[in-house]
Amino acid sequence: MTLTSDRPAPAGEGPPCRQQGSTESRPAEGRPETPFLLVDPERVRRNIARLRSRLARSGTPLRPHVKTAKSLAVARLLFDGEPGPITVSTLREAEVFAAHGYTDILYAVGLAPQKLDRVVALRRAGVDLQVLIDSVAQAEAVAAVSTRTGVSVPALIEIDCDGHRGGLRPDDPAAVRIAGTLERGGAEARGVLLHAGGSYHCRSREELVDAAENERASAVRAVELLRAAGFAVPVVSVGSTPTAHSAADLTGVTEVRAGNFVFFDLVMAGIGVCTVDDLAMSVVVTVIGHQPERGWIVTDGGWMATSRDRGTSVQPVDQGYGLVARLDGPHYPDLLMTDASQEHGILTVRPGSHGTLPDLPVGTRVRILPIHACATAAQHDEYLVLDPATGAATEIWPRLRGW
Amino acid sequence: MTLTSDRPAPAGEGPPCRQQGSTESRPAEGRPETPFLLVDPERVRRNIARLRSRLARSGTPLRPHVKTAKSLAVARLLFDGEPGPITVSTLREAEVFAAHGYTDILYAVGLAPQKLDRVVALRRAGVDLQVLIDSVAQAEAVAAVSTRTGVSVPALIEIDCDGHRGGLRPDDPAAVRIAGTLERGGAEARGVLLHAGGSYHCRSREELVDAAENERASAVRAVELLRAAGFAVPVVSVGSTPTAHSAADLTGVTEVRAGNFVFFDLVMAGIGVCTVDDLAMSVVVTVIGHQPERGWIVTDGGWMATSRDRGTSVQPVDQGYGLVARLDGPHYPDLLMTDASQEHGILTVRPGSHGTLPDLPVGTRVRILPIHACATAAQHDEYLVLDPATGAATEIWPRLRGW
C-alpha cells in the first residue's frame, strides 16, 4: 500500500521509488528454516533460453512480465544483466524497476485514473511508461492529465480475443474514439494489447496453436481498423506464457509478453507448455506429524506458504495444492499436498492411484511444486538459492510486494 | 524467511526479534491508492467485547490467536493496551510480540524440531513460550534440547477431536508416552490442546454447540488419562472462533483460543457465528472497466489483494471471492466478486438472483468483504484506518509477515 500526495514529483528528481527494505540480492549463510521458497537458477536460465530462442526465429522482441518473480535478480537473468523492456502489473513494480535502470515499462493492468500522478512522475523521471485502457472514460483521464501536466502519456488499447477479462472486441469502433480522445488531449495512442487468457484452458497442442493465432489475428484486425482511421499505433503487443510458446506465426506483432515461464508451474505442465522437470521454484517444508489411519503426512507448509490456488482442479489431472518432491531430487509421482490450513499442509497418496506413502519421519524436508507460481511466490518475501551439496543457503533474492 | 545460526542467543540478550521495518502503527496522510486493506476499529472493539463478555460468564480466560490480524495495534485492542496471553502460528509472531512485551505465548503449530533453538532463545529471554507436539519423536527432540541447554521447554500435547488435522485421539495411550518422554528429559508436559477445525463445517446453532461440547469433552477425557498416569498437565486449551462463540459449558477447560473473530468474514457469517455487519476488515478496490455484454464490472483488486480463498464454495451460499459493499456504507446483497486474476477482479450479479448491476463508473471505489479474513489480510503489509468523513487515511497498522 502506498500513500501518495496529490503533487507530482518535480522534474529531474529521479524515479519516485517507494521501496522499503533492500530489493537487491545478497549472500546468505546458515540453514534456512521452513517454509521457504527455493529457486533453481539453472532451470530459470534454461526456461528463459528456450523462449528467447523460440522468439529469435521470427525476430519478435520479448517484453517479459516481471509480475511472477517480482525480483531484480530474476530480471537480471532475463536480460543478461542489461535492463530491457519489461511488463509490470503494479506501479510499485514500475517504480522499483525504474530505480534500477529499467526505462521501457508497460503497465499492463487497466488504469485506475487516480494512479495517473504516479505515471506522470515516472515519465518525468525519464521512464517510457505506457498505460493500458479500454474505455473513453479512461482516455479522457489520460488526455486530461497530459494536457494539465504537459507530459504526454502513451496508452495501449486493450483488445479482448477470448472473453476472459477486459478489453474491446477487435472490431469495436470504440477503439477509434479512444484513440481520438487520447490524441486530441495531447496523449498518445501507441497501440493495442491482447492477452489470450483463455489459453490457460487449452487441452492440446492444436488448441494452443489456435489460441495463439486467434490472439495474433485479433490484434492485427484491431490495429488495422485504427490505422485505417489515421492513427499510427506502432505497437502490437500480444502474449501469455501458453501462446508465447505456441505461436506458429507472429506476422504483424511487434512484441510478445510472458511472465510465468521463468518458473513454470503445475498448471502450465497440465496445459502441456512445460514438463514437471522444468519447474524452477518450489516451497520447502518440514514434516511435523503423521495420521497413519487417514494416510496423512502433516507438514509446516500450509496455504500461507503455497497460496490457496487450486488451478489444476479444472484440469484433467488435479494436483491438489502441489506435487511433493524430494529436497534434492525428483518428485514422487503420486504424493500430493491435498489439503491446507494456514500453517499446516496435508500430504497424501493421489486419490485413485496405487502409490504408497513414503516413510518421511518428523523433521524430514520435502519440496512442494507449485500449482500457480505467481500465487505461491506472492506468499513469500524472498527466494533462497541453496548449495545442493550442503543444503545451506548461498543467496537471497528479495521479492517486491504491494502496489 | 529467517536464517538462523546453530548457536542459541546468549542468555539475557533479550528476545531475538528479526523484524524488518517498523511493526508499530503510525499516522497516515493522503488518499491511499487501491487496492488496500481497510479496518474498522469500532467493529474490532465490538467483536472483542462480544467474545470477552461471553467468556466472562464462565470465567474462562481467552488466549487470542494473533495469526489473523498479525498486528500489534489489533493486539492492543484485545488487551486494552496491556500485553496478555497470546497464541501464535509462527515463531516470527512469537519473536515480534515478545519484543513488545508479550511474555506468555503459545506456539500452536506442531513443532519442527529444527526450530527448537529459536524456542530456547525466547525462553532464555524470559518468555514463557509453549510448543505443541503429538509424537514421541517430537517429545524426544524437546527433551534433548532441554537436557542439552538446561532450559526446560514446556509442551502441550495436541489432541484431535474431529479428524481434521494433527493430534492424537483423546484416549490414545501415546499421550502418556509423550508426557513421560518430555519429563524424563527435563522438559515439561504442560497440558493438552484441541482445535475443533471441524466446526467450520457446521450448519446450525445445534451443530455448533455440539462441536464445542465435543471439543471440551475430548479435552477433558485426554487430560484425565494423563493425570491418572501421574502427570500434572495443568493446561486444557481449546478453541476455534465457531466453538468459542458456541460453548454452553467450559467445565475443565483452562483457556479458550480464537483468532478470526477480531475481523470475522463471510465463512463465519455463513456458519452463523456473526452477521455480515460484524465484518471489520475489507479490501478497497477501484473500478477500471466494464464488459456490459457479460454483465461484468472489472476492478483493480484481483487475487493478489483478496487471496484465492473460496471458502464459501462449500457452504449453502457461495459468496465467490467476496461480497461487494459501498466504500462508506452497506453491501450490495447480490453483487459479488466472482472471478479473479492477479490484479483484476470481476464483479457480477449473484448467479440466479434478481439483482441488477449498479452503475459504478470507472474510478468508483468499492469494498470487497472477505471470504476468509486470515487469507485476505495475509496478502497485504498493512491496514488502513480512514476518516469516514473525508476518505483520507488517518492511521497505518503494519502486519507481520514470514516465519
Q: Give B44-95 pLDDT, tens digit per residue.
A: 999 999 999 999 999 999 999 999 999 999 999 999 878 999 999 999 999 9
Largest CA distance in chain B: 71
The pLDDT of residue A14 is above 70: no
ipTM value, please give it.
0.94
pLDDT of residue A141: 98
Beta bridge partners of B348: B336
Yes or no, beta carbons of A289 and B374 under 8 Å apart: no
Region B297-304: mean pLDDT is 98
Top-confidence residue, B21 or A107: A107
Of A137, A344, A378, the CB nearest to B166: A344
Find the closest chain B residue to A28 by CA distance: B3
Buried b (16+ CB within 10 A) or exposed e, B96-123: bbbbeebbebbbbbbbbbbbbbbbbbbb
> From CA B331, how far away is CA B321, in angstroms rounded?
14
Contacts B4 to A, Cβ<8 Å: 30-31, 33
Confidence of residue B4 (pLDDT cuts 50, 70, 90): very low
Find the closest chain A residue to B118 by CA distance: A33
The pLDDT of residue B335 is above 50: yes
Find the closest chain B residue to A309 by CA distance: B308
Chain B: give the shortest CA distance to residue A244, in Å.
19
Chain A: give the shortest CA distance to residue B308, in Å.
5
Yes or no, beta carbons of B166 and A291 under 8 Å apart: yes
Instruction: Summarize pLDDT for B138-170 with one digit per residue, the tens.
Output: 999 999 999 999 999 999 999 999 998 899 999
Of A341, A346, A386, A399, which to mutate for an interface test with B (greatest number of B Cβ within 10 Å)? A341
Between strands B235-238 and B255-256, the pairing is: parallel
What mean pLDDT value characterizes chain B? 93
Yes or no, beta carbons of B109 and A288 under 8 Å apart: yes
DSSP state for residue B171 in the 8-state scheme: T
Q: Please state which of the ranges A271-280, B126-135, B346-355 shows the lowest mean pLDDT.
A: B346-355
Find the closest chain A residue to B341 by CA distance: A165
Its pTM stands at 0.94
Chain B: give the shortest CA distance to residue A174, in Å.
13
Confidence of residue B177 (pLDDT cuts 50, 70, 90): very high
Chain B: give the shortest CA distance to residue A316, in Å.
21
Confidence of residue B6 (pLDDT cuts 50, 70, 90): very low
Find the closest chain A residue to B294 by CA distance: A163
Instruction: Summarize pLDDT for A220-265 with one digit per residue, the tens.
Output: 999 999 999 999 999 999 999 999 999 999 999 999 999 999 999 9
Answer whether B360's CB lies under 8 Å from B297's CB: yes
Contacts A374 to B, Cβ<8 Å: 342
Contacts B34 to A, Cβ<8 Å: 112, 114, 403
A24: left (phi over 0), alpha (psi -120 to 50) or beta: beta
The pLDDT of residue B232 is above 50: yes
Yes or no, beta carbons of A307 and B310 under 8 Å apart: no
Contacts B294 to A, Cβ<8 Å: 163
Chain A: give the shortest CA distance to residue B156, in Å.
15
Region A64-74: mean pLDDT is 98
Yes or no, beta carbons of B294 and A110 under 8 Å apart: no
Region A374-392: mean pLDDT is 92
Helix axes A116-124, A136-149, angle to 10 degrees: 40
* Other CB atoms within 10 A of residue A299 CB: 31
Contacts A2 to B, Cβ<8 Å: 32-33
Yes or no, beta carbons of B403 and A32 under 8 Å apart: no
> From CA A364, how far away is CA A327, in angstroms rounded?
9
Contacts A291 to B, Cβ<8 Å: 160, 166
Q: CA gyration radius for chain A? A: 22
> From CA B120, how far away is CA A89, in angstroms rounded?
42
Region B384-399: mean pLDDT is 90
Find the closest chain A residue to B159 by CA distance: A291
pLDDT of residue B60: 98
Region B124-148: mean pLDDT is 98
> What single string gives the DSSP state of each residue in A327-338?
TTSPEEEEEEEE
Chain B: give the shortest CA distance to residue A57, in Å.
31
Residue A361 CB-density burial (10 A; 0-12 exposed, 13-18 middle, 19+ buried)? exposed
pLDDT of residue A21: 61
Yes or no, beta carbons of A34 and B6 under 8 Å apart: no
